[in-house]
Chain A
């Protein structure tokens, strides 16, 4: 198929192609993916909307600078495999990023059509190309350079670690990835639910890395099973990349937080996604039985949306988001908020929990909330919520999920004291190289930034891979003096 000749006017007249999705009434009863993907025809139609700017500003909006104009042109021309390969020059996990990247704040935000029209659906097209390639069974493995004889340990098999491992193996280094859990993929497996990111897709990406020769070691907690120093001294690694994520959930510190039925989002999602407790008792791990119950999720990020939509799918009668600011300040992606609303999630906005209430068996029965109003902007630039005196109310709930973010896991800090950390315990790095204060140790992803996005973690993994390569091959530009 080749691109039809159309005029600029016709091009601009094509409406943005929506991606078909499961009907909300249906999807709240299953864990299948919400979006169903573009057909080749729809994808080509959408790709034709791209006006192929001379200076494609969309690329600047992408943290890994995918050659967006070029891959879209290939889709428009019907060369879908070519498009997938073009994306993979810059992004190793396109099927994942096409699904979970906040495109509306990145590439699509900078798309020139955004001002007068609607932006090209870059994320949807990325996803289409990646899915097309995978489903065609025609996945082309990139060329691996001859062995350099250098060994690199990557700690953590989430997005940062996988992208770092991918680049390093292609450059000819031997790469071993250590994962703490029994399953690979990090937050892509335990955190993001099946209905937003099918696990089969993550497994396919992992298979690709295995084929390239990346070694994976599961059940290995760095800091406990083996320390960073031991990786150098006893296991002979030449460099270490730390991409362990932000693995310590925050609680709110209010009364009643340890009542039965109060969970962190990490625990709730890990039970459901990784341990498959939605399929109890076939799988042994139980989770709070949400059926017919009232569940409140506290927070307004993507994880909060994942948790509340999971509770709904597990049969919750009422599934609430309790958030202390308004919809406008919510950090979750618009798309996720929109999906949640369609699925009947109830938003309790401008509400702040002050106390959890339990019965005499210590089971949660409700939460005391305080109404808030928005005052002056705070440090984050968002208007600060201030309590309305005397506005307390009690919301009856059976389960609470706290989703207000994560701190840093203390294990590496405790066992590798010569890696400098910030006041918040995140690892301090040179942002140009992701080098830490310890020789030949690099870090990236949430352990550096605090809770952020998959694509930022991937970008950090790639920056580190480049710097590690230069350092090991002696071609660096003096970054190591940092």
Chain B
């Protein structure tokens, strides 16, 4: 059993959970993830590590309650436990001094873009962050992002805060302003990552995305997380999760992530039903 040290909502439905995991805290690097299981009947889900405190022996994950498992996880409070956590898994982000690096986080993807932004800053890059959300209330890690950025931008789809529009529009604006951009990291929903790849492609800007296919073991054993990159099959758990955005077959990724839609819906509904019953008691 692994103890939850703290659990705080950063925005509606988005929770930062700090878990006791000393070995992982000591070893993890930006871009790596953990697999966890909430309880004995739970599924194994991959979640990128948002941060760690090696001295305290804890790691943090930032979770948006979407399906049954993430909602169950978000119902946990400090002092609760989860059954299993293993990591750090995946190949760490490739970090070097590229020059000017743009780190783009869409929605809860910001949680993953953040540690890599920190690493890029530490490597000496001029760091620009673009933090996108649907609306003002869903913006997360604003201060943290600002603290590691030479330039920090917020975009909201509805214009309730920061730049009114998508992260890609802000990125295009930066490129159009004549800024020389050497590296882009984009993490968020698949359509966003695909759109970012299309913005940078004509300029040949090196662009990396972090992929989130369905996974079971996270160690290369099952091949369920295979993605098509540059026409070749790669395993996101061991070869990734970060890949060259201009080589990724996003269509295939998006299709494969629909494999269990019906089952996810069923689990989610059962879970909601159980929660309502729980409320009544």
**Which of A193-201, A218-226, A306-314, A463-471 sits within the interface?**
A218-226
Shortest A298–chain B CB gap in Å is 14
In Å, the complex CA distance between A226 and B26 comes to 10
**Do the beta carbons of B87 and A225 come within 8 Å of each other?**
yes
State the Cβ distance, A234 to closest chain B Cβ, in Å.
Answer: 10
CB of B279 closer than 8 Å to a CB of A: no
Check A281 against B220 for contact (C-beta < 8 Å): no
Using a CB-CB cutoff of 8 Å, which residues 49-88 of chain B contact chain A? 68-69, 83-88
What is the 8 Å Cβ interface bit string for chain A, positions 260-287, against chain B (1 contact, 0 not)?
A: 1101101100110001100011111110
Q: Are B258 and A258 in contact, CB atoms less than 8 angstroms apart? A: no
Also in contact, A411 and B238, with CB within 8 A (given A224-B27, A224-B87, A247-B221): yes
CB-based contact B219/A285 at 8 Å: no
Is B216 among interface residues, defined by CB-CB distance under 8 A? Answer: yes
A434 vs B255: C-alpha distance when bound (angstroms): 45
CB distance from B75 to the nearest CB of A (A): 14
Q: Determine whether A181 belongs to the interface, using a CB cutoff of 8 Å to chain B.
A: yes
A411 and B27 in contact (CB under 8 A), knowing A258-B256, A260-B256, A284-B43?
no
In the complex, whether A32 has a CB less than 8 A from a CB of chain B is no
Task: Among B23, B69, B219, B252, point to the contact of A258 (Cβ < 8 A).
Answer: B252
CB of B267 within 8 Å of the partner chain: yes
Shortest C-beta distance, A220 to chain B (Å), equals 7
Select which of A224, A248, A264 is within 8 A of B88 by beta carbon.
Answer: A224
Say whether B154 faces chain A, with CB atoms less than 8 Å apart: no
> B224 contacts which chain A residues (CB < 8 A)?
263-264, 267
> Is B220 touching A410 in the complex (CB atoms < 8 A)?
yes
Q: A361 an interface residue at 8 Å Cβ cutoff?
A: yes
> Which residue of the partner chain, among A260, A263, A288, A409, contacts B221 with CB atoms under 8 Å?
A409
A211 at the B interface (CB under 8 A): no
A341 at the interface (CB under 8 A from B): no
| Minimum CB–CB distance for A397 against chain B, Å | 16
Q: Does A257 contact B (CB under 8 A)?
A: yes
Q: Report whether A247 and B219 are in contact in the complex, using a CB–CB cutoff of 8 Å.
A: yes
Residue of B nearest to A251 (CB): B233
> Given the complex, which residues of B lie within 8 Å of A266, measured CB to CB?
221-223
Pairwise interchain contact A270-B216, C-beta atoms closer than 8 A: yes
Q: In the complex, how many angstroms separate the beta carbon of A189 from the nearest chain B beta carbon? A: 12
A22 within 8 A of B: no
B43 and A409: CB pair below 8 A?
no
Closest to B266 in A: A281
A249 at the interface (CB under 8 A from B): yes
Complex contact A260–B84 (CB within 8 A) = no
Per-residue A-contact encoding for B206-249, CB less than 8 Å = 1, 0 else? 00000000001101111110111000010100100000000000
Query: B222 touching A264 by the CB < 8 A rule?
Result: yes
Inside 8 A of B222's CB, which chain A residues have their CB? 249, 264, 266-267, 270
- Cβ of A260: which chain B residues have Cβ within 8 Å of it? 255-256, 258-259
Min CB distance A160 to B, Å, is 16
A182 within 8 A of B: yes
On whether the beta carbons of A280 and B87 are closer than 8 Å, the reply is no
User: A411 to chain B: which residues have CB within 8 Å?
Assistant: 219-220, 238
Give the residue of A225, A270, A284, A286 whose beta carbon is less than 8 angstroms from that of B24: A225
Q: List the A side residues contacting B86 at CB < 8 Å.
A: 180-182, 219-221, 225
Restricting to A181-231, which residues have a CB under 8 Å from any CB of B?
181-182, 190, 218-221, 224-226
Interchain CB contact (< 8 A) of B44 among A261, A285, A410: A285
A190 to B266, CA, bound (A): 25
Q: CA A154 – CA B83 in complex, angstroms? A: 23
Closest to A221 in B: B219
From residue A226, how far is it (CB to closest CB) to chain B in Å?
7
CA distance A195 to B84 in the complex (A): 27
B27 touches A285 (CB 8 A): no
Cβ of B167 under 8 Å from chain A: no
Does A30 lie at the interface of the complex (its beta carbon under 8 Å from any beta carbon of B)? no
B54 to chain A, nearest CB (A): 14
What is the CA–CA distance of A417 and B197 in the complex, to the nearest angstrom? Answer: 35
CA gap between A267 and B226 in the complex, in Å: 11
* Interface size in chain A (residues, C-beta < 8 A): 42
Query: Does A362 belong to the interface (CB within 8 Å)?
Result: yes
B281 contacts chain A at the CB level, 8 A cutoff = no
- Bound complex: CA A411 to CA B219 (Å): 8
Flag if A270 contacts B217 (CB, 8 Å): yes
A249, closest chain B residue (CB): B223
B245-280 vs A, Cβ < 8 Å mask (1 yes, 0 no): 000000010011011100110110010000000000
> Would you give the shortest CB distance from A410 to chain B, in whole angstroms?
6
Complexed CA–CA distance, A225 and B83 (Å): 17
The residues in B between 81 and 111 inclusive whose CB is less than 8 angstroms from any CB of A are 83-89
**B217 A181 Cβ-Cβ under 8 A:** yes
Contact, CB under 8 Å: A409 / B84: no
- Which B residues, 168 to 227, have Cβ-Cβ distances below 8 Å to chain A? 216-217, 219-224, 226-227
> Which residues of A from 404 to 443 have beta carbons under 8 Å from B?
409-411
Contact present for A257 and B255 (CB under 8 Å): no
**Chain A CB within 8 A of B37 CB:** yes
Q: Does B42 contact A (CB under 8 A)?
A: yes
Contact B219 A409 (CB under 8 A): yes
CB distance from B157 to the nearest CB of A (A): 27
Residue of A nearest to B85 (CB): A219
Report A-chain residues with C-beta under 8 Å of the C-beta of B233. 251, 253, 257-258
Contact B238 A226 (CB under 8 A): no
Measured in the bound complex, the distance between the Cα atoms of B87 and A180 in whole Å is 9
- Within 8 Å CB of A257, what residues of B? 233
Known contacts A181-B217, A251-B223: A282-B228 contact under CB 8 Å:
no
- A182 and B35 CA atoms in complex are apart in Å by 10
- A258-B226 contact, Cβ under 8 Å, with A267-B216, A361-B255: yes
Q: Which residue of A lies closest to B2 (CB)?
A: A219
Contacts of A275 in B (CB 8 A): 43-44, 216
Return chain B residues, CB-CB under 8 Å to A284: 41-43, 68-69, 267
In angstroms, Cα B233 to Cα A281, docked, is: 30
Task: Please name the 10 residue pairs, one residue from A and one from B, whose CB atoms are nearest each other, closest first.
Answer: A286-B263, A267-B222, A219-B86, A284-B43, A362-B255, A182-B84, A264-B223, A285-B43, A247-B221, A267-B224
- Between A and B, 10 residue pairs with Cβ closer than 8 Å are A181-B217, A224-B87, A248-B220, A249-B223, A284-B68, A285-B43, A286-B260, A362-B252, A362-B255, A409-B221
- Interface residues in chain A, defined as those with a beta carbon under 8 Å from any beta carbon in chain B: 180-182, 190, 218-221, 224-226, 247-249, 251, 253, 257-258, 260-261, 263-264, 266-267, 270-271, 275-276, 280-286, 288-289, 361-362, 409-411
Known A286-B263, A288-B259; 11 more pairs at CB < 8 Å: A182-B44, A221-B219, A224-B88, A247-B221, A249-B221, A249-B222, A267-B223, A271-B216, A282-B41, A284-B68, A411-B219
